Amino acid sequence: MGQKINPLGFRLGTTQSHDSIWFAQPTNYSENLKEDKIIRDCIMNYITQKTDRYVKTGPYTLAIGRIKIQKRIDLLQVIIYIGSEKNLLLEDEPRTIEELKMNVQKKVNCGNRELKIEIKILPNVYGDANILAEFIGYQLKNRISFRKAMKKAIELAEQAGTKGIRVQIAGRIDGKEIARVEWMREGRVPLQTIRAKMDYCAYTVRTIYGVLGIKVWIFLNNE
């Protein structure tokens, strides 16, 4: 079961909530879903462009944990959770929010809805699966050994007080001709316990040898 079901979707309604919160009639559901995808892609494209403009000084310069979207009849609210206070998005926050608003409004028809974008800092950076996966990808791009990158990510997760973590990398690791899967685990990772609060991320990174798939499971606590 743990290999066939997304750990977050499996726990919806118990320990996990939706990243998009809105109500729509069945006829409008697909349009709302598409709108969410466009908003997230627009934000990620803006971050990619910003990354090209600035030299990264560390793994968390533009790290994003999650993007949450809330919709009402008169409001479209987007909350971006970032990894640290040294994030480039906070360097000039009012200007960044204005640029993001302009980019989103070009792609999405807001109509009579007010568009609000907020940037929040995650209280526990190293306990977020998305940021750890991005950290591993950043290390692999810089040709650091995959074992060293995985061990470092596990150390960071342990420092954050997590109860268990599993990291998996798949693809042409270290440029080998045959693709393979390598993984490491520390602590408990109960994938089949619904009440176990898990965080999960599937992340792809492009290296000079090809595309590598990174998966991170983090066991936070029991409810």
Q: pLDDT tens for residues 159-193?
A: 888 999 999 999 999 888 999 999 999 999 998 88
80 and 56 inside one domain: yes
What distance in Å separates the CA atoms of residue 206 and residue 223, rounded to the nearest whole number? 37
Place of tokens 């409001």: 75
151 and 175 inside one domain: yes
Domain boundary among 85, 103, 121: 121
CA 96, 86, 138 angle in degrees (round to 5)?
95
Q: How many CB atoms sit inside 10 A of residue 40's CB?
A: 17
Contact 5, 185 (CB under 8 A): no
Domain boundary among 63, 89, 121: 121
CATH at residue 80:
3.30.300.20
Strand partners, 8: none
**pTM metric for this prediction:** 0.85
13 and 97 inside one domain: yes
pLDDT band at 87 (very low <50, low <70, confident <90, very high): low
Contact 119, 80 (CB under 8 A): yes
Collapsing DSSP to helix, strand or coil, 77 comes out as strand
Q: How many CB atoms sit inside 10 A of residue 179's CB?
A: 14
111 and 196 inside one domain: no
CATH at residue 184:
3.30.1140.32
131 and 203 inside one domain: yes
pLDDT band at 3 (very low <50, low <70, confident <90, very high): low
What distance in Å separates the CA atoms of residue 114 and residue 129, rounded to the nearest whole number? 31
> How do residues 4-44 score in pLDDT, each as one tens digit?
788 999 999 888 899 999 998 999 999 999 999 999 999 88
Contact 213, 170 (CB under 8 A): yes
20 and 108 inside one domain: yes
pLDDT for position 58: 46
Q: Domain residues for 90?
A: 9-121
Please report whether residue 1 resides in a domain. no
* Total of domains in the chain: 2
